Each structure stands twice: as C-alpha cells, then as structure tokens.
Amino acid sequence: MKKFIIPLLTIATVAVLIVTGCRPKEPQRPSYPEEMSCGMVVDLSGPHADMGKKLAAGAEVAVKHVNYWGGIRNMISTKLKLVVADDGGSPERAATEAERLITEEDVLFILGVWPTAMAVSDVAEEHAIPFICPLSLEPELTERGYQYTFRTVGNPSLVAERIVSAMLQFAQDAGVDPPKTCFMEYISDAPSVAVAEEFKSQAEAAGIEIIGEEVVDAMAPTFLPQLQRIEAAKPDTLFSFHYTEDAIILYREMMDRQTYFPYGIFSCGGVEDASFYKSLPPEAYEYNFCYETGDPLPERRRYYTYISWEVYAGTGMEWEDYYVGTTYGAIWIAKEGLERMTTFGITSLREKGAWERELTLDLAKLRVNLKDALAEISITRAWCEKPQLPDATPFLPALHVMRFDKVEFDENGQNIYGGGIVSQNIDGMRWPLYPAINKEPGSPSVVLPIPPWGER
C-alpha cells in the first residue's frame, strides 16, 4: 500500500504547483482619485437668477450628501466636486461655459436647465460627455437623435398626457361626466406653446372641445381683457400656463372677478412656486389643479430634513419649491449610473439585467461608459428602498424627491416615466391625486364640481 502513497503525493504536489503557476495574478486595483469633477451651467446673475440659485443649491447639497454617505462606492469612495458656471441666462454664454467646464475643468458630466439647455446639449454632444437636464420643456431637446442628452422630467407630450388623463380620471372619481369644453390661456414663449399645442391635440382626441385660446405676454400688467373673453365663452374648465409673477396677477384678478369654472383650472408653471402661494390668500387658489414637476409635500418625507437644513445653511432659505428637488435628484441619478459600472469584468447584477461596463480612469472613456450606463438605467421605487444611510434608512432620492414612478430613458434620452403629477389645492394644501400611486395616505378625495365662490 505504501508504494502507492509516494507516487500519489508526488502527483498531487505537481498538480498544485501547476495550478498555482497557472493562476492569474491578483489584479492591481486602480489608484482612484480622491475626487472627480462634475459641472453645472445655470443662470446666477441674469433674468432667472433666483431660479438658478435654487437649482445650484439643490445640486450642491446632493453632492455634499453623496460624498458624506460613501461617495462613488465602487471607486473606493471617490468623491464628487461640483463646479458651477454662471451663464447669465444667455445661450451663447452657456455654450462657452460648457466648453470651459469640459476642456479646462475636466468634468465627468454636466447639468443644465432651461433656458440654456439646448446650447449646453449641443456642446455636450460635440465633446461626447453626458448632459443631464432636470428642468426643460423644449421638445427638440430629446428629439434630435443626440446620444449624450438625458432629460429627467417630462417633455411637452408627457406633460399634456398627464393633464388630460387627470381631467378624465378626476371626473370619474367624482362620479360626474368628463368636461365637455375647455378654454386655453397661456404665455407666448416656446415651452408654453409646445405644451399647449400637445394639450390641445390630446384633449380633442379625448372628446374635450377647445372653444377658445388666448396667448398672452408674460410681462402684461393685467389679464382682464382675456378674462372677459374667457368668461363669455363659459367653458367647463381652463388650461393655463404662466410663470410665477404673471400667475399671481391672473389668479388675483380671477379672485376679484370671481371667475368660475365648474371643472376648475388646470395650471402649469408658476403655480408650483412657493412664492405664488405666499403672495395670495388661500381663497384665490382653493380647488385649483396644479401640474407638478416635483413633490408638493416634501415636508412629509423622511429625506426632507436632510436636504432642508443644508439648503438653509447655503442659501439662508428653507427648501420650499421644486427647483431644489430637480437638481438634487439628477445628481443621484448620475451617481447610480456610475455605480452600475464595474472593474475587471466583474458583472454587477441589477433588476433589469447584468451590466459589465468598464470603470476606467480614462476620462474620455469614462464619459462614454457613463452615457451607456445612463441609457440602460432602470430605477424603480422598490430599488429606492434599499438601505443606504448609516442608520439603514432607505435613501435614493432620485425617485423619492421627484416622486417619479420610475427612471428609465428611451433611445432619445427622455425619461419615459417623467410625466409628473397633478395635485388639487384643498384646505390650503396641494394634495397629489394623480396618478393614484402618488396619493398620500389619508388624502382627501378630488373635489368636483368646484363649489361656486359664495359656497367656499
């Protein structure tokens, strides 16, 4: 028996040596940088400076939170550094600043918004760098066949579809017939006109007759002539698109005249702004319907305190409107894209499938790979419930802040689930009522028909 043991041991030893010699060496992990830059082009000094400062604050707080809660974790906690450029509201200056961020600051991706999003998108496409747009309604932004542009919010078609569907669903929920007639009143800039044209087409297809249109100047000191014509037409409902200051004028005049629509007013734009509600008594907007880009009830969310105190520290104001949420969520979407890349061919499994995107330190390649990761991304609410904070609190704000059902981009970079929500002002609060998934526990039922002024 012993004569067999020595040969067997010899064979085993040789086999071990062969296997050991053939085993690949442990790969060296790349020396990841301590931080990587991302850029943002926004108006900080021009006609939209107030909006721009809130948008910048949202992105700055998001970067701070990403870094605090682990950084880009598959890059051994590499941190993000946000570089904000002021475009002064000028598309030409925005293009110049975007070029500088890409070629001099070596940013990994860029954020940009209306009204300069188109110009920044052009530069991003030329330089093959991801451009994430969390606030814009220009239809062409995601209709030009660009590979590097990603819009997180709805385009005009998605916005119009959400409003028309809400009109029909609210009538059904209230047990009344759908509205038969609608008057359209909206400002004359390109985004408003684009949404209005889509709304008209979809409303008529749904059997709602458009019985009149008033296209107005946002700088007009009064809208009384238009209101007189609207009232004379006696529509069931009104579609309205304004910015903040002109919306305040319109609603104050409707309150003074007690302009009445039995199916209410469906408004877009400035009625999302907290300053709109601070400038008017509650009766001016009670029972108004509002198309919401973001979350109308952020203070009810567990993430609100995390964000609000940082916004206050940086700007001296409470987080009170959707501008902060749009850019805050966009940074986290970019983070998720980065973390869906892997190194050395290791496959990372996610709900949609398997990614094997190289996590390279070559900046040009990394930009391309981030673009590909964003194009494939699919984030659902269930995925957002994974524990992320040190106290095991679920925290992926890309969906929770914006109240999307899902984030997934089509072949043109449009988030196909970015349609937003429709709320109704009831007892001084904007309650999200459509889609049903966005309803709050214990929220009131939709109020239809709208009570006349004397009965409110």
Domain co-membership, 161 together with 279: yes
Decide which of 357 and 312 is more confident. 312
Going by the DSSP 8-state scheme, the letter that residue 291 receives in this structure is E
| Tens of pLDDT, residues 178-205 | 999 999 999 999 999 999 999 999 999 9
Q: Mean pLDDT lowest for which of 15-29, 207-221, 331-345, 418-432?
A: 15-29
pLDDT of residue 23: 46
Domain membership flag for residue 334:
yes
Q: Taking the CB of residue 34, how many other CB atoms lie within 10 A of it?
A: 10
CA distance 172 to 237: 15
For range 4-24, the mean pLDDT:
45
- Whether residue 388 has pLDDT greater than 60: no
Q: Which residues contact 401 (CB under 8 A, 6 or more apart)?
A: 294, 295, 298, 301, 303, 307, 325, 328, 329, 332
pLDDT of residue 81: 97
Domain co-membership, 260 together with 161: yes
Domain membership flag for residue 122:
yes
- Whether residue 353 has pLDDT greater than 80: no
Domain membership flag for residue 390:
yes
pTM of this prediction exceeds 0.85: yes
| Tens of pLDDT, residues 134-178 | 999 999 999 999 999 999 999 999 999 999 999 999 999 999 999
Q: Mean pLDDT lowest for which of 262-266, 405-409, 420-424?
A: 405-409
CA distance 242 to 250: 9
Domain co-membership, 322 together with 303: yes
Domain co-membership, 287 together with 303: no
Q: Which residues contact 88 (CB under 8 A, 6 or more apart)?
A: 43, 44, 45, 46
Domain co-membership, 225 together with 288: yes
**CATH number of the domain enclosing 172:** 3.40.50.2300
- Whether residue 109 has pLDDT greater than 80: yes
pLDDT of residue 391: 54
Number of domains in the chain: 2
Domain membership flag for residue 17:
no
Decide which of 190 and 386 is more confident. 190
- 373-401 burial by CB neighbour count: b if 16+ within 10 A, else e? bbbbbebbeebbeeebeeeeeebbbbbbb
Domain co-membership, 168 together with 190: yes
Domain co-membership, 383 together with 322: yes
Nearest by Cα to 38 from 366, 315, 278: 366
Domain membership flag for residue 1:
no
| Tens of pLDDT, residues 216-236 | 999 999 999 999 999 999 999
Domain co-membership, 141 together with 201: no
pLDDT of residue 153: 93
Domain membership flag for residue 22:
no
- Whether residue 393 has pLDDT greater than 60: no
- The three-class DSSP label of residue 322 is helix
pLDDT of residue 33: 81
Range of the domain at 213: 156-292+420-455
Domain co-membership, 220 together with 181: yes
Q: Which of 385, 408, 431 is the last residue of a domain?
A: 408
| Tens of pLDDT, residues 354-375 | 445 667 778 999 999 999 999 9
pLDDT of residue 124: 98
Domain membership flag for residue 344:
yes
Domain co-membership, 351 together with 319: yes
Domain co-membership, 86 together with 101: yes
pLDDT of residue 75: 74
- Whether residue 16 has pLDDT greater than 80: no
Q: Which of 28-42, 65-79, 133-147, 304-318 has the highest mean pLDDT?
A: 133-147
One-letter amino acid at 282 equals: P
Q: Which residues contact 408 (CB under 8 A, 6 or more apart)?
A: 377, 378, 379, 415, 416, 417
Q: Which residues contact 283 (CB under 8 A, 6 or more apart)?
A: 255, 453, 456
Q: Which of 229-243, 264-278, 290-304 has the highest mean pLDDT?
A: 229-243
CA distance 127 to 130: 9
pLDDT bucket at 379, cuts 50 / 70 / 90: confident
pLDDT of residue 6: 43
Domain co-membership, 138 together with 284: no
Decide which of 23 and 270 is more confident. 270
pLDDT bucket at 301, cuts 50 / 70 / 90: confident
Domain membership flag for residue 14:
no
